[in-house]
Chain A
Amino acid sequence: AQSVAQPEDQVNVAEGNPLTVKCTYSVSGNPYLFWYVQYPNRGLQFLLKYITGDNLVKGSYGFEAEFNKSQTSFHLKKPSALVSDSALYFCAVADYGQNFVFGPGTRLSVLP
């Protein structure tokens, strides 16, 4: 069975500093990996995905994520955080043909 862990409930970072939101996963086959962002009272919005190819994936709003097969990780990164990046971030994983399992979410607060 597939599973996702986001080890940090909350990440605080100062505006302008780099940010990292961590995600580790477990699947039996090759993973389909996604990051989504949820702003208050809104549905989730797609940020980026990894299915195959280059381990560094670039997505929306300047975010990127690095796929690391040996560490089974897919950490979300951004070189310079904005206050408007403050939101709830979800990592999701699926095995081929299976539905996505979402992580518990990490709340990112970017302080001015």
Chain B
Amino acid sequence: DTAVSQTPKYLVTQMGNDKSIKCEQNLGHDTMYWYKQDSKKFLKIMFSYNNKELIINETVPNRFSPKSPDKAHLNLHINSLELGDSAVYFCASSPHPNEKLFFGSGTQLSVL
């Protein structure tokens, strides 16, 4: 069983569209995250949720909106996609903040 699963694995879409990426973890962790990895492989945190509550929101455009319906899920919705949004998006979870992260396998987003 995959501990942290995210779908879809690949997402190709046109500029201006709205898209969502889903993430689920079956580890019983309290904390979930979204990270963005750019083409140079730099990893940057976007959002962090603890028990369904947003605890950090780094400087990301408000076109990006996370939603956590329950502790096991953290979805990422992106409005009005732009070329610069093309990247790999990773979901991750941890038992608590400052504990080791368990990563999903990533969603490669390509905006054309």
Q: Is A22 an interface residue (CB 8 A)?
A: no
In the complex the two chains form, is A44's CB within 8 Å of B56's CB?
Answer: no
Are B98 and A44 touching (Cβ within 8 A)? Answer: no
Contact partners of B66 in chain A: CB under 8 A: none
Residues of B in contact (CB 8 Å), total 21
- Do A43 and B98 contact each other (CB < 8 Å), given the known contacts A99-B48, A105-B41? no
**Are the C-beta atoms of A46 and B97 separated by less than 8 Å?**
no
Contact B42 A46 (CB under 8 A): no
Contact A90 B98 (CB under 8 A): no
A22-72 contacts to B (CB < 8 Å) = 32, 34, 36, 38, 41-46, 49, 51
Does the CB pair B41–A97 fall under 8 Å? no
A81: B residues at CB distance < 8 A? none
Are A44 and B97 interface neighbours, CB within 8 A?
no
B94, closest chain A residue (CB): A100
Whether the Cβ atoms of B104 and A43 lie closer than 8 Å is yes
Residue pair A99, B42 in contact (C-beta under 8 Å): no
Q: Which residues of B contact A46 (CB under 8 A)?
A: 100-102
Given contacts A43-B103, A44-B90, A104-B42, 8 further A-B contacts (CB under 8 A): A42-B106, A43-B104, A44-B43, A44-B92, A45-B103, A51-B98, A100-B45, A105-B42
Q: Which 9 A-B pairs have the closest CB atoms?
A: A43-B103, A102-B43, A46-B100, A44-B103, A43-B105, A105-B41, A32-B98, A99-B45, A43-B104
